[in-house]
Amino acid sequence: MIRIIRTRDYDSLSRKAADIIASQIKVKPDSVLGLATGTSPMGIYDDLAQRYTSGTLDFARIRTVNLDEYVGLGATDEHSYRYFMNLHLFDRVNIDKNNTHIPDGLAADLDKEAYAYDELIQSLGGIDLQLLGIGRNGHIGFNEPADHFEKSTHVVDLARSTIEANSRLFDSSADVPKQAVTMGIGAIMQARSILLIASGRDKADIIKEAFCGNITPEVPASILQLHPDLTIVGDEDALSAMGAGDADLFCA
């Protein structure tokens, strides 16, 4: 079932999504959270950090697995996703860093790293709640449009459109790494629940295509239509190409 939550703006989207994550943490204090990077989740992480500071949320037993990491960037590189996660969440709450996992983009043997990452997710008992953003080309994590869905964690050549989209966070598109290690569609789909967030008008078309169109590896997020517990929290702009309200009306 797809649950749609439409919010007024980015702040209310962040609050609503943080509510869902906070509930998960309260119900299961040792939850395995699948986490995402990108600009969309920043407000959620701010909100969660504030809840920790005000004493209403405890991360002491939480475990996390992130979706992806750029190949060639280490933890001290400010463009790496490890750096992002430390800055926006992990350094602001009482999580044990040993319980936070992100693929190692500096691993000498990246295929081995990818294999070990799936083993790790299995050893943690799978993901309780997976947070996802969505790329403008429909990617989730760094699962790029392709002719098949890649099940396992793998090394991926980033699409030109992704390099261009993500270049806004680098000095130039030439500085954006050309490859990443990403969790595959298998681990994402096996997450017990999924929370996808989308903000802004430039996500409107891809949201409609992914959730009202055909299920195809050309639009990787479209596979989420088959997930039994998917919540989409989108602001008015991101959902502006859709019908209103609940799942039935969503694609009208």
Q: Just list the catalytic residues.
A: 68, 137, 139, 144
Residue 34 in contact with ligand GLP, rule: CB under 6 A? no
Nearer to ligand GLP (CB atom), residue 120 or residue 163: 163
Q: What does the buried/exposed string (b/e) look like for 123-162 if buried means 16 or more CB atoms within 10 Å of the residue's CB?
A: ebeebbbbbbbbbebbbbbbbbbeeebbeebbbbebbeeb
Q: Does 67 bind ligand GLP (CB under 6 A)?
A: yes
Binding-site residue total for ligand GLP (CB under 6 A)?
14
| Helix ranges (DSSP H) in 28-126 | 42-53, 81-88, 110-123
Find the binder of ligand GLP among 7, 14, 40, 64 (CB under 6 A).
Answer: 40
CB of 55 to ligand GLP, least distance (A): 29
Site string for ligand GLP, 166-205 (x = CB under 6 A): x---------------------------------------
User: Are the beta carbons of 4 and 245 closer than 8 angstroms?
Assistant: yes
Q: Does 162 bind ligand GLP (CB under 6 A)?
A: yes
Distance between terminal CA atoms of the chain?
17
Rank residues 62 and 221 by Cβ distance to ligand GLP and give the closer one.
221
Q: How far is the CB of 230 from ligand GLP (least distance, A)?
A: 15
Strand-pair category, 63-66 with 100-101: parallel
The residue from 10, 13, 21, 38 that contacts ligand GLP (CB under 6 A) is 38
Q: How far is the CB of 79 from ligand GLP (least distance, A)?
A: 12
Cα 179 to Cα 21, 25, 156, 190, 210, distances in angstroms: 30, 33, 5, 24, 24
Q: Hey, is 24 helix, strand or coil?
A: helix
Of the residues 103, 135, 138, 184, which one makes contact with ligand GLP according to CB under 6 A: 135
Burial of 36 per CB tally in 10 Å (0-12, 13-18, 19+): buried
Q: Residue 57 Cβ, how far from ligand GLP at the closest point, in Å?
A: 23
Judging by DSSP bridges, how do beta strands 68-70 and 179-182 pair with one another?
A: antiparallel
Nearer to ligand GLP, 94 or 173 (CB): 173
* 12: phi then psi, degrees, rounded to nearest 5: -70, -30
Q: Which residues contact ligand GLP (rule: CB under 6 A)?
A: 36-40, 67-68, 133-135, 141-142, 162, 166
